């Protein structure tokens, strides 16, 4: 905490506090809204998002179809709502997996140091260097396109990032006096790691989790865009942008709807993450 | 420090070896047959078998791997199975193209993002900060292939100000080439600016509120002078790690942009060769990208060590 | 010449025009052309179904009808013809036509090529003895005339005088002989060899003097000219010393010269001053740019960066007709997406189940959604209306939910669900089928593979496209129905993915092949068509058409072709 007490500084702080709440509430509302949609879209959609209608292809937005229809006459609005579910399945699962695994790896490497650290970090380099695209192609070929495959691919590519941050924070903590004291008391590395270091790198872990969550949504959308995401025909945002982009001039609604959906969700998450990060870092 | 550097440099070939094994194994597992891909579905089984033999695909796994490995490290990268052209020319040519695209984007990103971050940080919590922060956040939230599509349709299809593809015809002037690269570069910069600017802003805010800056202000130094002398350095250095992350993305993660703007870069080559099981091309691409990534990681680690004395002390043992 | 965006299919100027005709390419979404594209969602490389398929073997029984004068002795004069819609008056010369196409998936080699892009590149530079026209007529090119001797066992081709290769070497009978010897040599690994199976063997080609080539067949074969025409697209005439390095040393007798080729970016061609047809080509050159992604290809066309596409997909370009001066030429064809059901495995071992699926499909809906309405309805037999032998009296099958229910009940199937395997070019077709079957309570799980996976494996044991219980395979248009019937549904046919075996059909196929009169041919065709319509080993919902989009305000003479072949020798600037 900085020692600002006076004048302008104090006013700024209060303003920042109000901003913090505004950002948190706005972001939280966006995320919550999409979460509700993801959970209850079957009750919310006006049409079956998979249903073709050859007689209503490329209809512009109107009272019948609020956001128009696509190449097969499918309802764009319904597909946009239904598309929330796969994203909100993949992103949290992938983030959780990456944060848990990355934290464990980073803690171990940072606490034990020496050869352990060296080996672990070089292995992580190999993971970073192994192209995620190859992993995606491989998994899709072997297991088909599914949420599970996307979770594994996205989580796999995030583990080294999380591990590096946690390891760096661990290295910093390790040199602090309280850890030194515990070590002199004769605490074993494992319990040192669990009882002394882990609670103090918690902020880093939380910051990583919030950053990765936004990135995971992005990564999932990109995989879908490349045709490595959900099964074909699924109402998936990234895939919809990819499939429809050739018609942007003719039927812009088919691409703007999923694009805005991705953007609003990521913005919502970023707002929440930013405010939380600000608070954690301040405390 | 020198020991650290030597050790890390020595680890690079080992990492590459591990990656090449992984790539090889992954390619084995992917279904499909490159010989069939080359000859098409109507060729007879005998013709396909003959081609497999010619390509050496019928040899044992270990033999194929060691054969490839010794060739690769002696500079014999072989020919692409599918395209029949020398892999070295293909991969290095594509890499050069990607470096041009990524490098241009990076060159534009650094000044734009740092300036915006500084302005926002120095004026933090004022309207100008809010405008910059919120815009950056929103643009950073839109995937590059979405902004790319919009730019394409508006500026290439509707207005026809820029060409739709990033690839200029042979013999084009520098200016024409830049015109072709404009749309993809802009879509990348729009994506990355918010992220980098946010980091610069955060460290700028920290610097502005730090005791020495306050002290400088109390000493009566002008605002501009304080920013130049004290804030600038302290706030941009931490942002280098954010830039490193972006650089890594810009040099290899561009598949979507390359596809969208029809730019024959290395990301598209990686995806295509993985799907085709064109092993010589795939391996070489993965190796080249590997060297690139590891150099960036190493540079980031070095910078981190040089900048943070605590790590320099503590990490020395690590 | 321009179209309004949603105009109904229009007939092409000068096109063959029969009303119900069908279409060209193979893939559903056909990738552009006959093709099939291969990447997951990304590219659409395509491959042309060969006109001569392996088993085609001797078969081409031809309905010679469609081939007009090609039969026993055709001859022709100056022979060029080709593109319809030639401009009135004298065409302007000069200019460069810029075309977009997917990058060829492999090195461009005329002997083994199978994808639409490589074929187009080769067709600009090299030529065939005989061209296959957009209405499947045989047009003399390097061969001026041909005739059969000994009742069709020997074929004598007279070469055009005064033709030279682009390096100055005169075209002679030896080069033609070398070309066909090469295709028949197992070492060259050409799929074309299979097309000659049991018709022409190694050593069967001889020369008489410098300008006459003699093919001595294994047996009489009245449609032999098709096998040496563009219909067998590997059969371009190359120099005797061709060594497999086409893009490094591109030598041919075609209208253009290949100036440069880059596997990543494209190819540049300039006018061949030695081209044999006086005054042609009109253009100074052609530039092909590769687009790894067909949406990028189309955006380039919309933005004016290219003037035409080598391979256009009806569903993609249809809605763009007229926007920004884009004209879409269209031609009827005989391409199809075969929805194959394995008759030797449950649940499709019951004929009623297969029929139920056939009655569940809304064929006009497939045509509209997948082919932008330019195709013609299929009737689950392999005789497109364009084939003269097509039986007129098989009732058109249409969607009938009540019949679906009663057929499934008769088969004792309560709830039908199955997996449908396909590769990316068939994606739109697969989605449409899934949706339509769902409406009658049949669940379809989509199993999309990469093209490498789908066509990989052993064709005698396990390749997915011939061994999965239900799958979609795109086929390019073919000139004669035997080219479909023999490999696809005859017992033991090389590409018989349904494993259908019906002795009556086999006998009728043989009889069709050796029939000497149109009457007899029609009789046998009716037997084959009725068996297929009744037993449904393969569902054919639509015969696709092919399209080619181009900038109609800048060029004229660009035309669609049922196999998406290119002939730009008559294209000119406006």
Does C455 sit within 8 Å of B36, measured CB to CB? yes
CA angle C337, C338, C340 (to 5 degrees): 150
Whether A52 and chain C come into contact, CB under 8 Å, resolves to: yes
Question: Which chains are within 8 Å of A by 3+ CB pairs?
Answer: B, C
- What does the block give as tokens for C69? 């004068």
The residue of chain A with its CA nearest to that of C363 is A54
Give the HSE-up count for residue A253: Cα atoms under 13 Å, Cβ half-sphere: 21
Q: Compare all CA atoms of chain B with the CA of C39 and give the residue at the minimum distance.
A: B275
> Among C6, C41, C301, which would you mutate to test the A interface (most chain A Cβ atoms within 10 Å of its Cβ)?
C41
Measured at the alpha carbon of residue C347, what is the angle toward residues C342 and C350, in degrees to the nearest 5?
A: 80
Question: Which chain C residue shows the shortest CA-CA distance from A56?
Answer: C369
**B156 → closest Cβ in C295, C303, C455:** C303
Contact call for C105 and B262, based on CB within 8 A: no
Cα torsion A26, A30, A31, A33 to 10°: value is 130
pLDDT of residue A221 exceeding 90, the answer is no
Q: Tell me the per-residue pLDDT of A30-72, one tens digit each, with 9 for 90 and over.
A: 999 999 999 999 999 999 999 999 888 899 999 999 999 998 9
Above 80 in pLDDT, residue B228?
Answer: no
Give the C-alpha separation, C563 to C32, whole Å: 10
CA–CA min distance C408, chain B (Å): 35
Of the partner residues A144, A227, A232, the one whose CB lies closest to the CB of residue C42 = A227
Q: A143 CB near a chain B CB, below 8 Å?
A: no
**Residues forming a β-bridge with C197:** none
What is the DSSP track for A113-127? -HHHHHHHHHHHHHH
**Residues in A touching C377 (Cβ below 8 Å):** none
Decide: C326 and C320 in contact? Cβ < 8 Å.
yes
Q: Do C112 and B261 touch (CB under 8 A)?
A: no
A contact residues 101-120, partner C, Cβ 8 Å cutoff: none
Q: Categorise residue A113: left if φ over 0, alpha if ψ from -120 to 50, beta otherwise.
A: left
> What is the residue-wise DSSP string for B148-200?
HHHHIIIIIIIS-SS-SSSPPPTT--HHHHHHHHHHHHHHHHHHHHHHHHHHH
CB proximity A114 to B under 8 Å: yes
- Residues of chain C in contact with residue A230, where contact means CB-CB under 8 angstroms, are none
Do β-strands C212-216 and C154-159 pair in parallel, antiparallel, or remain unpaired? antiparallel
* Cβ separation A114–B11 shorter than 8 A: no
Kindly report, residue by residue over B70-105, the tens digit of the pLDDT.
Answer: 888 888 899 999 998 999 999 999 999 888 998 899
Contacts of C428 in chain A (CB under 8 A): 71-72
Is the CB of A231 less than 8 angstroms away from the CB of C365? no
- With contact defined as beta carbons under 8 Å apart, do B281 and B93 qualify? no
Q: Are the beta carbons of C28 and C414 closer than 8 angstroms? A: no
Q: Are C147 and C226 in contact (CB under 8 A)?
A: no
User: For residue C562, is pLDDT > 50?
Assistant: yes
Tell me the chain B residues in contact with residue C260 when contact means C-beta distances shorter than 8 Å.
170
Indicate yes or no: CB of A52 within 8 angstroms of CB of C5: no
CB atoms within 10 A of CB A19: 16
- Selecting from B37, B43, B169 the residue whose C-beta is nearest the C-beta of C452 gives B37
Question: Which of A68, A136, A227, A242 to mutate: most C Cβ within 10 Å?
Answer: A227
CB within 8 Å of chain C, chain A residues 217-236: 226-228, 231-233
Contact B47 C53 (CB under 8 A): no
Of A207-221, B189-203, C192-206, C454-468, give the range with the top mean pLDDT. Answer: C454-468
- The pLDDT of residue C320 is above 90: no
Phi-psi region of C536 (alpha: psi -120 to 50; beta: other; left: phi over 0): left
C-alpha A16, offset from chain centre? 26
User: Is it the case that residue C312 has pLDDT exceeding 80?
Assistant: yes
Residue B72: partners with Cβ closer than 8 Å, 6 or more residues away? B20, B283, B284, B287
Q: Which of A51, A73, A141 sits opposite C450 (nearest CB)?
A: A141
Inter-chain residue contact B31 with A141, CB threshold 8 Å? yes
Size of interface A-C (CB pairs under 8 A): 73
Contact state of A57 with C368 under an 8 Å Cβ cutoff = yes
Contact C431 A228 (CB under 8 A): no
CB C483 within 8 A of CB C53: yes
User: Does residue C354 carry a pLDDT above 60?
Assistant: yes
Out of C41, C298, C364, the one facing A246 most closely (by C-beta) is C298
**What is the rounded CA–CA span in Å between residue C177 and residue C171?**
11
Strand partners, C472: C339
A262 inside 8 A of chain B by CB? yes
Q: Which helix (H) or strand (E) holds C268?
A: strand C266-271
Is the separation of the CB atoms in C186 and C127 below 8 Å? no
**A148: which residues sit within 8 A by CB, 6+ positions away?**
none
Over residues B242-285, the pLDDT tens digits come to 777 777 677 656 788 888 888 888 888 988 888 888 999 999 99
Contacts of C167 (CB under 8 A, 6+ apart): C239, C251
> Taking CA atoms, what residue in A is nearest to C366?
A54
HSE, side-chain direction, 13 A CA sphere, residue A208:
29
A248 vs B: CB within 8 A = yes
Q: Do C186 and B84 touch (CB under 8 A)?
A: no
Q: Please name every residue paired with C170 in a beta bridge, in sequence order, or none if there are none.
A: C164
The nearest CA of chain A is from the CA of C436 a distance in Å of 8
pLDDT tens for each residue of A117-148? 988 888 888 888 888 888 888 888 888 888 88
Please, which residues have CB within 8 angstroms of residue A69's CB and are 6 or more apart in sequence?
A: A53, A56, A57, A58, A59, A75, A76, A254
Among candidate residues C253, C249, C258, C251, the one with its CA nearest the CA of residue C275? C253
pLDDT tens across C129-168, in order?
Answer: 999 988 888 999 999 999 998 888 899 999 999 999 999 9
The mean predicted confidence, pLDDT, of chain B is 83
Nearest-Cα residue of chain A relative to residue B15: A126
Which chains form contacts with chain B, at 3 or more CB pairs under 8 Å? A, C
pLDDT at A150 over 70: yes
Kindly state the tokens that stand for B288.
Answer: 């080249």
Nearest-by-Cβ selection for A19 from B125, B138, B145: B125
Mean pLDDT computed over C373-397: 92
**Are the beta carbons of B90 and C292 separated by less than 8 Å?**
no
Is A57 an 8 Å CB contact of chain C? Answer: yes
Asked if the model's pLDDT at residue C81 lies above 60, the reply is no
pLDDT of residue A44: 94
User: Which residues in chain A are closer than 8 Å to C315, comparing Cβ atoms?
Assistant: 71
H/E/C letters for each residue in C37-60? CCCCCCCCCCECCCCCCCCCHHHC
Task: Give yes or no for a contact between C177 and C207, defined as CB atoms under 8 angstroms apart.
Answer: yes
Both tokens of C138, joined, read 């045989």
**C41 band by pLDDT with thresholds 50, 70 and 90:** very low
* Identity of the residue in A141, A171, A241 whose CB atom sits nearest the CB atom of B30: A141
pLDDT value at residue A282: 60
Phi-psi region of B149 (alpha: psi -120 to 50; beta: other; left: phi over 0): alpha
- B43 exposure class (CB count in 10 Å sphere: 0-12, 13-18, 19+): buried
Closest-CA residue of B relative to C450 is B275
Flag whether residue A183 sits within 8 Å of chain C, measured between CB atoms: no
Instruction: Report CB contact under 8 Å: A174, B29.
Output: no
CB C62, CB C226: distance < 8 Å: yes
Nearest CA in chain A to C370: A72
Model pLDDT, residue A67: 95
* Measured torsion, CA atoms of residues B210, B212, B218, B224, in degrees rounded to the nearest 10: -80
Beta-carbon separation of C457 and B43 below 8 A: no
| SS3 (DSSP) at C287 | strand
Kindly identify which residue of chain C lies nearest to residue B167, measuring between CA atoms.
C265
- Partners of B269 on chain C (C-beta within 8 Å) are 264
Contact list, A138 vs chain C (CB under 8 Å): none
Structure tokens at B37: 């891909």
Please name the helix (run of DSSP H) or strand (run of DSSP E) that holds residue C158, with its range, or none: strand C154-159
Contacts of A218 by beta carbon, 8 Å cutoff, 6+ apart:
A266, B143
**C299: nearest CA in chain A?**
A246
Residue C353 has pLDDT above 90, yes or no: yes
What is the total residue count of chain B?
Answer: 318
Q: Which of B134-143, B253-262, C223-232, C549-558 has the highest mean pLDDT?
A: C549-558
Read off the pLDDT of residues A231-280 as tens digits, 9 standing for 90 and up.
888 899 989 988 888 787 788 899 889 988 988 898 888 888 878 877 77
Q: How many residues does chain C have?
A: 574
Cβ atoms of B305 and B37 within 8 Å: the answer is no
B28 contact residues in C (CB cutoff 8 A): none
Please give the ipTM for the structure prediction. 0.84
For residue B249, the surrounding DSSP H or E stretch is helix B239-252
DSSP state of B210: S
From CA B107, how far away is CA B123, in angstroms rounded?
Answer: 25
Would you list the DSSP string of C370-418? Answer: HHTT-SEE--SSS--TTSTT--TTSPPP---HHHHHHHHHHTT-SS-EE
Residue C327: enclosing H or E segment and its boundaries? strand C326-341
């Amino acid at each position: 905490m900085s020692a600002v007490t006076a004048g302008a500084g104090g006013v700024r702080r209060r303003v920042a506090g109000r901003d913090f709440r505004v950002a948190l509430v706005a972001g939280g509302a966006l995320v919550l809204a999409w979460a509700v949609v993801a959970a209850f879209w079957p009750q919310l959609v006006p049409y079956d998002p998979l249903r073709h209608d050859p007689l209503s292809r490329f209809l512009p937005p109107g009272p019948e179809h609020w956001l128009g229809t696509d190449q097969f006459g499918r309802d764009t609005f319904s597909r946009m709502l239904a598309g929330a579910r796969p994203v909100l399945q993949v992103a949290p699962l992938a983030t959780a997996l990456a944060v848990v695994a990355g934290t464990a790896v980073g803690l171990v490497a940072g606490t034990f140091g020496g050869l352990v650290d060296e080996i672990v970090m070089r292995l992580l380099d190999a993971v970073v260097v192994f192209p995620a695209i190859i992993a995606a192609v491989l998994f899709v070929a072997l297991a088909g396109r599914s949420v599970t495959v996307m979770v594994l691919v996205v989580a796999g590519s995030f583990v080294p990032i999380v591990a590096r941050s946690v390891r760096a924070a661990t290295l910093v903590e390790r040199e602090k006096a309280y850890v030194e004291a515990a070590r002199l008391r004769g605490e074993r590395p494992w319990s040192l790691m669990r009882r002394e270091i882990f609670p103090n790198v918690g902020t880093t872990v939380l910051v990583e989790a919030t950053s990765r969550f936004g990135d995971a949504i992005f990564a999932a959308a990109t995989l879908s865009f490349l045709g490595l995401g959900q099964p074909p025909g699924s109402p998936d945002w990234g895939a919809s942008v990819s499939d429809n982009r050739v018609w942007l001039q003719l039927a812009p609604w088919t691409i703007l709807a999923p694009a805005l959906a991705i953007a609003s969700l990521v913005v919502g998450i970023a707002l929440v993450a930013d405010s939380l990060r600000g608070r954690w870092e301040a405390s | 420090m020198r020991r650290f550097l030597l050790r890390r440099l020595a680890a690079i070939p080992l990492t590459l070896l591990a990656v090449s094994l992984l790539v090889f194994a992954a390619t084995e597992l992917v279904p499909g047959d490159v010989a069939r891909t080359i000859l098409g579905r109507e060729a007879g089984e005998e013709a396909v078998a003959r081609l497999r033999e010619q390509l050496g695909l019928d040899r044992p796994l270990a033999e194929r791997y060691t054969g490839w490995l010794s060739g690769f490290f002696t500079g014999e990268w072989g020919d692409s199975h599918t395209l029949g052209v020398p892999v070295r020319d293909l991969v290095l040519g594509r890499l050069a193209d990607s470096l041009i695209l990524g490098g241009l984007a990076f060159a534009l990103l650094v000044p734009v993002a740092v300036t915006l971050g500084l302005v926002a940080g120095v004026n933090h919590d004022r309207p100008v900060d809010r405008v910059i922060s919120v815009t950056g956040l929103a643009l950073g939230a839109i995937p590059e292939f979405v902004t790319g599509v919009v730019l394409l349709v508006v500026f290439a299809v509707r207005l026809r100000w820029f060409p739709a593809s990033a690839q200029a015809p042979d013999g084009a002037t520098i200016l024409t080439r830049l015109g072709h690269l404009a749309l993809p570069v802009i879509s990348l910069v729009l994506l990355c600016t918010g992220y980098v600017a946010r980091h610069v802003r955060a460290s700028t805010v920290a610097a502005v509120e730090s005791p020495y800056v306050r002290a400088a202000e109390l000493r009566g130094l002008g605002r501009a002078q304080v920013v130049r002398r004290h804030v600038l350095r302290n706030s941009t250095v931490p942002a280098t790690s954010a830039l490193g992350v972006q650089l890594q993305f810009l040099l290899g993660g561009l598949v979507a942009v390359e596809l969208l703007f029809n730019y024959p870069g290395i990301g598209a080559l990686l995806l295509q060769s993985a799907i085709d099981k064109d092993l010589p091309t795939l391996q070489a691409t993965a190796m080249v990208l590997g060297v690139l990534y590891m150099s960036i990681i190493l540079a980031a680690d070095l910078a981190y060590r040089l900048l943070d004395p605590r790590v320099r002390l503590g990490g020395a043992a690590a | 010449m321009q179209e309004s965006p949603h105009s109904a299919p229009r007939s092409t100027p000068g096109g063959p025009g029969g009303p119900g005709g069908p279409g060209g390419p193979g893939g559903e979404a056909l990738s552009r052309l006959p093709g099939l594209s291969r990447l997951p969602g990304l590219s659409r490389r395509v491959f042309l179904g060969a006109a001569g398929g392996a088993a085609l073997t001797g078969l081409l029984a031809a309905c010679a009808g469609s081939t007009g004068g090609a039969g026993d002795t055709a001859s022709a004069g100056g022979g060029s013809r080709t593109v319809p819609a030639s401009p009135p008056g004298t065409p302007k010369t000069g200019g460069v036509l810029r075309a977009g196409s997917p990058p060829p998936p492999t090195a461009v080699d005329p002997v083994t090529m199978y994808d639409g892009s490589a074929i187009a590149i080769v067709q600009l530079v090299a030529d065939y003895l005989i061209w296959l026209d957009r209405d499947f007529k045989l047009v003399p090119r390097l061969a001026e005339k041909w005739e059969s001797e000994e009742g069709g066992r020997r074929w004598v081709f007279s070469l055009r005088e005064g033709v030279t290769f682009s390096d100055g070497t005169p075209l002679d009978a030896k080069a033609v002989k070398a070309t066909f010897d090469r295709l028949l040599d197992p070492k060259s690994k050409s799929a074309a060899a299979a097309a000659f199976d049991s018709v022409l063997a190694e050593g069967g080609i001889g020369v008489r003097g410098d300008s006459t080539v003699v093919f001595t067949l294994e047996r009489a074969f009245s449609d032999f000219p098709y096998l040496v025409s563009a219909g067998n697209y590997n059969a371009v005439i190359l120099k005797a010393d061709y060594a497999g390095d086409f893009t490094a040393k591109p030598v041919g007798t075609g209208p253009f010269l290949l100036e440069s080729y880059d596997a990543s970016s494209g190819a540049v061609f300039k006018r061949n001053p030695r081209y044999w047809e006086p005054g042609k080509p009109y253009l100074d050159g052609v530039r092909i740019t590769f687009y790894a992604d067909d949406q990028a290809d189309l955006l380039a066309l919309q933005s004016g960066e290219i003037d035409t596409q080598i391979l256009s997909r009806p569903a993609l370009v249809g809605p763009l007709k007229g926007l920004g001066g884009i004209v879409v030429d269209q031609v009827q064809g005989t391409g199809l997406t075969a929805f194959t059901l394995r008759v030797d495995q449950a649940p499709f071992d019951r004929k009623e189940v297969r029929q139920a699926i056939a009655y569940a499909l809304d064929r006009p809906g497939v045509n509209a959604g997948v082919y932008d309405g330019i195709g013609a309805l299929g009737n689950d037999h392999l005789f497109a209306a364009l084939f003269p032998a097509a039986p007129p009296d098989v009732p058109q099958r249409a969607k009938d939910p009540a019949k679906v229910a009663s057929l499934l009940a008769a088969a004792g199937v309560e709830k039908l669900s199955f997996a449908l395997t396909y590769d990316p070019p068939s994606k739109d077709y697969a989605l449409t089928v899934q949706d339509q079957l769902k409406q009658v309570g049949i669940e379809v799980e989509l199993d999309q593979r990469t093209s490498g996976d789908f066509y990989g494996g052993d064709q005698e044991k396990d390749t997915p496209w011939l061994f999965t219980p239900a799958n979609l395979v795109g086929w390019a248009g073919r000139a004669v129905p035997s080219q479909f019937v023999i490999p696809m549904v005859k017992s033991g046919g090389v590409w018989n993915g349904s494993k259908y075996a019906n002795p009556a059909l086999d006998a009728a196929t043989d009889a069709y092949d050796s029939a000497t009169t149109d009457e007899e041919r029609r009789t046998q065709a009716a037997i084959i068509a009725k068996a297929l319509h009744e037993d449904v080993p393969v569902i054919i919902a639509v015969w696709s058409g092919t399209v080619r989009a181009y900038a109609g305000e800048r060029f004229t003479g660009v035309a669609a072709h049922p196999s998406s072949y290119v002939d730009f020798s008559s294209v000119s600037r406006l």
